[in-house]
Amino acid sequence: MTDTDTEEKAGEGGGNFILDIIAEDVASGRAKEVVTRFPPEPNGYLHIGHAKSICLNFGAAETFGGRCHLRFDDTNPLKEEVEFIDSIIEDVRWLGFDWGEHLYFASDYFERLYEWAEHLIEAELAYVDDLTADEIREHRGTLTEPGRPSPHRGRGKEESLDLFRRMRGGEFADGEKVLRARIDMASGNINMRDPVLYRILHATHPRTGDAWCIYPTYDFAHGQSDAIEGVTHSLCTLEFEDHRPLYDWLIENLGVPSRPRQYEFARLNLTHTVLSKRRLTELVAGGHVGGWDDPRLPTISGLRRRGVPAAAIRDFAARIGVTKKDAVVEMAALDHCTRELLNRTAPRRMAVLRPLKVVIENYPEGETEELDAVNNPEDEAAGTRKVPFSREIYIEREDFMDDPPKKFFRLAPKREVRLRYAYFITCTDAIKDADGTVTELRCTYDPETRGGNAPDGRKVRGTLHWVSAAHAVAAEVRLYDHLFAEGDASGDGFLDRLNPNSLEVLDDCLLEPALGDAGPGETVQFERQGYFRCDPDSTPEKPVFNRTVSLRDSWAKKQKKG
């Protein structure tokens, strides 16, 4: 089966056609050692779409006993910053991948790339053009009309070489001249209509400073950097499919040390968010979110801050597969992977987010007892902890109704419920303020039901979580929802579709005392509430928790029905 056949089959969806191609290359001897690379441009923070590519490139190399390089495409100093380089390194490491000694930058090869550019000029395969960017665009033609040659296309190699060297010397202003490949202005592929290889940018580079004022385009640097590093499989998303002929043309017309091959796969499209770096930048720069690590963003740093484990992201990437067919994945699928993992690993704790005071009138005043609570029912080795219980406790305000409907099984006047790990209690009175709002409940408890079971075998329908008033830890809890309420956040006017309820901050929450020592990064399940991660904004006096995901898994139910 040829590469084309394999890629055609990939369009049908499912599996990982890239691994199939690599397996064939290894079996045929075409690839003696598999070398891949992840080549981010350091002009922003990585997002979940990049995570798919990271998992594919590093995972493929690991599967075949090869290696994966981390290489920064730092060819545009106008947009690139050291902050972005540092964040990308942190994100890739956090996802669980290591490039060893193979950390590279396109700027490492600037001199060699320049020499190759001169080689193209001398071979009359490139020329210096004086057209502006707008004029080049106008001459390029359309999908149905061929391009028109630049008036400078016939410029001789001696003149072009002289001008190119003067471009490097800083003699010309930005945009005054460019170096273009001389290929075919009538090509059906617009990318082959004399593409720009070098442009003038008088800007300080994060790594090379002011040593250069001309910079290679991505198309020129990409394949040649792959060749220098001995990359065997250059994996890109589908928008680069039309660039592959140029990638191959440059490789074939330069004396590169190896012959990498480019393959394209469908990028990740996710509901309820945007994965365009330009739009993410607009959200951050416009103050619509709190920064690149805002937990509502699909950035890796935002997902990490929200509490999504790296292993859940890797699991998500594996489940959605790698194909050549564009598809939109539901955000709920990522939540499902997160929920599945945290259910096995996160310790359970009790937290009351909207407190309502309860006084247990027949419980001895001034007395406190410690009750045994399970840390994680999915992990017997996690053991138990002690939870203090006293006369005054807090429950969730939504767990009480003065006049409940038939299917409300929680607390109500004259109704008995179970307190998790504690006792049965019965509501005897609801105290209200002048507006009729319930401010406090009076209850009694049955001392024979310690641990949550009645010796006479009577049953209750509702079980509530709670915290002891005297021992509660005050906390702030941030409830995150989709950044975009609508599933489709693409198209123009995307800012108009921002979800105004994507963040709710609860400032008067109460936690069981075991959470008083929680540190940033710690993830727990608040019983009956969801999974939460302690945020870096926490202080010793007041922890802050971000909701990662709720307990309800609508996606899993939908898959079962399907």
What amino acid positions are annotated as catalytic residues?
41, 267, 277
Contact 391, 365 (CB under 8 A): yes
63: alpha, beta or left, given left = phi > 0 and alpha = psi -120 to 50? alpha
Rounded CA-CA distance 381/393 in Å is 29
Cα–Cα nearest to 502, from 269, 277, 289: 289
CB 42, CB 88: distance < 8 Å = yes
Q: Whole-angstrom Cα distance, residue 436 to residue 402?
A: 11
Angstrom distance (rounded) from CA 407 to CA 424: 20
Letter string b/e over residues 306-315, b meaning 16 or more CB atoms within 10 A of that residue's CB:
bbbbbebbbb
Helix (H, G, I), strand (E, B) or coil at 351: strand
283 neighbors 289 (Cβ within 8 angstroms):
yes
Give the pair of three-digit tokens for residue 265: 């796969």
Q: Is 491 left (phi over 0), alpha (psi -120 to 50) or beta?
A: left
> Given phi > 0 = left and psi -120 to 50 = alpha, else beta, which region is 65?
left
| Cα distance between residue 485 and residue 497, in whole Å | 7
Q: Return the SS3 of 208.
A: coil
Which H or E run contains 524?
A: strand 523-526
103-105, strands of its sheet edge to edge:
35-38, 67-72, 103-105
Q: Which two tokens stand for residue 87?
A: 């964040």
Two structure tokens written together for 268: 């990740």
> Which residues make Cβ contacts (< 8 Å) with residue 220, sequence separation at least 6?
113, 117, 197, 198, 250
**Range 359-382 burial, b when 16+ CB lie within 10 A, else e:** bbeebeeeeeeebebbbbeeeeee
H-type alpha helices, 64-109: 82-94
Q: Which of 47, 560, 119, 22 is nearest to 278 (CA)?
A: 47
The full DSSP string for 112-139 is HHHHHHHHHHHTTSEEEE---HHHHHHH
